[in-house]
Amino acid sequence: MDTVNKSTRSKIMSSVRQRDTGPEINLRKALHFLGYRYRLHDKKLPGSPDLIFPKFYAVIFVNGCFWHRHGCKYSTSPSTRKKFWRDKFEANKERDKKNIETLLEKRWRILVIWECTLKIKKDKGYIQLIDMVAEWLHSDVLYKEL
């Protein structure tokens, strides 16, 4: 059973952002600082990637661990409405898989960065992460997850 009423839950869920999330903005700022230029959320591409690098024919998805079911400690499952959430998460995973396959067929290179990976920002590991992203942009690797 939910701990808040239906209208409150609706308000809470509507405030969950799909784009311009904190981890995404931090990544964008770091890459921009290094001189990389990109487009944002191109709806013409499958899945509307978070960052698009036309020069490198590469896209980056910044995936939330909860919504995209990473399997880390942040991908908890709600204890109520189990079937609803299981179906919701499965649909999200299936849509992600289809979008990735379509992008690869169109010869786009894909990097998926998980929210939990970006949470190391306050650690010096964040600089290494940004370096890994920059290295990937200049590589020939078609698909990678961080």
Q: Report the chain (146 residues): mean pLDDT per 10 consecutive residues.
A: 67 60 89 96 95 98 93 89 93 97 98 89 76 96 96
Q: Using CA atoms, how far apart are residues 69 and 77, in angstroms rounded to an integer?
A: 9
Q: What is the structure's pLDDT at 7?
A: 74
Contact (Cβ atoms closer than 8 angstroms) between residue 43 and residue 122: no
Domain boundaries, the chain: 18-141
Residue 69 DSSP class: T
CATH topology assigned to domain 18-141:
Endonuclease; Chain A (3.40.960)
Cβ atoms of 76 and 89 within 8 Å: the answer is no
The pLDDT of residue 45: 97
pTM, full prediction: 0.85
Q: What is the pLDDT of residue 15?
A: 53
